[in-house]
Structure 1
Amino acid sequence: MPTFQNPTTDAAEASEALRGLAHASRVFEDPADTYAVLGDLLAGVRSLRQVLDQLATTHVTNRVRAHDDAGDQTAGATYALAATAELQQAAALLDGVHERVDAAMAASGRIAWHPAPLEPGPVSRWVSVVFLQGQDADDVLAIIDRAGTDVAIEHLAGFDMGEETTQAALINGYVYDTIPTGALDHTTTAGVYTLTYNHDHGHVSLLRAHTETREPDAEAPSARTTPTRPRARRQAAVDEEEDDWFAQSQSSSALRGRAL
């Protein structure tokens, strides 16, 4: 905690706090938090400007006590005046930093951050491996009646040429979001294959599950995240600081096959 009385202790603590902030700000889980951080940094720049002014004043007002290592007071006073000039120049440069950070905060405060887009996920569709009618279908229907659907699926899986079958189905439009079935069709699944068959209409179909990656819908609505805008509150604190630089702050920040 700051002492508000011991400059060396508070300077060390400020240095450690900035080192922690540099580490913590490598990643923001919520980008809306950048607004609150900018507000605190703006206050920090203002305080740093004040510190530099006060350091410069201390050097110039105590120059009569300044000596070099050999005890030469004239040389010591010269060094004190040189340090004062450099500190005053640094303080003046901070005015530009303050202006830029303030402008960045104003722009950041106008941002409504949206949730991150969902990662594209796997989508299962169905690829037509083979569709049989007539005598060809009757032969498979006979296998189903005699040996069962698992044997029929194993038999029809011989038509599956893997990627070649997939590409042919994609080119010809024989890929389905749901398994195409009629009112009287029977359906059974074994592994990646689904068999549909109909004794009355005399047809048999084998489809294979096909997993692909679908890009997220760019037009899909997403929840709107409204950023925190504590500017008015901070401005009041700024006005107090300008009235009394030495007033102790009560808190650092409240923000934070074939077709069917």
Structure 2
Amino acid sequence: MPTFQNPTADAAEASEALRGLAHATRVFEDPADTYAVLGDLLSGVRSLRQVLDQLATVHVSNQVRAYDDAGNQGAGASHALTAAADLRQAAALLDGVHDQVDAAMGVSGRIAWRPAPSTPAPARWVGIVFLQGQDADKVLAIIDRDGTDAAIEHLTGFDRGDETTQAALVNGYIYDEPPTGPLDRVIEQGGYVLTYNHDHGHVSLHRTHPEVRELDTPPAKAKTAAPPRARRTVPSVEEDEDWFVPSQASSPSRGRAL
């Protein structure tokens, strides 16, 4: 607490308070608090200017008591007057500081700060299906004939929702980013990502799932990426079967990579 009577003690406390303020203002949880801090700083600049003026006055009024180390009173008085002039110059410079801080405070006071935008949980990607060979050729033909939207619509037939997600968790087909090769074409639509490559003859579909980090899954199973050959492929089907409609007699995992 300031003494209001002991300049040495109050100067030491002011110095410590400024050190604390310099440390505390490295981070503001609420930017609206800057306005109050600017107001206190403006008051502090005014007080500091008054202190400098008063220090200059002390040097002038007590010049007859000033000596140098050799006992020369004339030299001591000269030093006192020089110090007083420097202090008054510093006080004058603080007028400019005061005006700038005052202007900054006025502009800052016109800001309507809003809460920080919430950061959504990072999405991860669930592998739905990976096709290669003849199965991929059929989807690639759909892409060439009807476009990628039609291909995505057909491949979403392999997505069984929570069942697919749980299978991906068990088998490790969960990715921070959909795995792609350097020559793959990537199309994103409606929470799905279609990846295909005519030259290499493969097609894959992934689905975003923000909640997947909260599901009960062994951490060791999660992977950030995997080459296409590391994923199971859909077995070939006979030509007279409807490739896009899962057979009722088939097991639930038929025709899916997961």
Query: In which range does the TM-score fall when normalised by the shorter chain?
Result: 0.5 to 0.7
- RMSD across aligned positions (CA): 3.8
Distance between the aligned counterparts of 1:126 and 1:80, measured in 2?
78
Q: Which residue of 2 aligns with 1:100?
A: 100
| Structure 2 unmatched ranges of 5 or more | 136-162, 172-177, 187-192, 197-203, 210-220, 223-230, 232-244
Larger relative contact order (CA 8 Å, sep ≥ 6)? 1
Secondary structure of residue in 2 paired with 1:67:
coil
- Is structure 2 residue 194 aligned with structure 1 residue 170? yes
1:96 to partner: Cα distance: 0.3
CA contact (8 A) 1:3 1:10 kept: yes
Q: What letter corresponds to residue 248 of structure 2 in structure 1? A: H
1:90 to partner: Cα distance: 0.4
1:28 to partner: Cα distance: 1.5
CA contact (8 A) 1:126 1:207 kept: no
Identity %: 60
C-alpha deviations, 1:136-160, integer Å up to 9, x for none? xxxxxxxxxxxxx9xxx89xx9xxx
Q: Which residue of 2 aligns with 1:88?
A: 88
TM-score between the two structures when normalised by the length of structure 2: 0.54
Q: 1:9 to 1:84 in 2, by over 3 A?
A: same
CA contact (8 A) 2:129 2:206 kept: no
Secondary structure of residue in 2 paired with 1:129:
strand
Q: What letter corresponds to residue 107 of structure 1 in structure 2? A: V
CA contact (8 A) 1:63 1:81 kept: yes
1:47 to partner: Cα distance: 0.1
Most deviating of 121-130 and 25-34: 121-130
Q: 1:74 to 1:124 in 2, by over 3 A?
A: closer
Q: Which residue of 1 aligns with 2:237?
A: none
1:119-198 correspondence runs (5 A): 119-124=119-124, 126-129=126-129, 163=179, 170-171=194-195, 174-176=205-207
CA contact (8 A) 2:63 2:81 kept: yes
Distance between the aligned counterparts of 1:24 and 1:41, measured in 2?
14
CA contact (8 A) 1:130 1:205 kept: no
| Structure 1 unmatched ranges of 5 or more | 134-148, 179-190, 209-260
Distance between the aligned counterparts of 2:257 and 2:10, measured in 1?
72
Q: Which residue of 1 aligns with 2:2?
A: 2
- Is structure 2 residue 223 aligned with structure 1 residue 199? no
C-alpha deviations, 1:65-100, integer Å up to 9, x for none? 212222222111111111110010000000000001
Q: Which residue of 2 aligns with 1:17?
A: 17
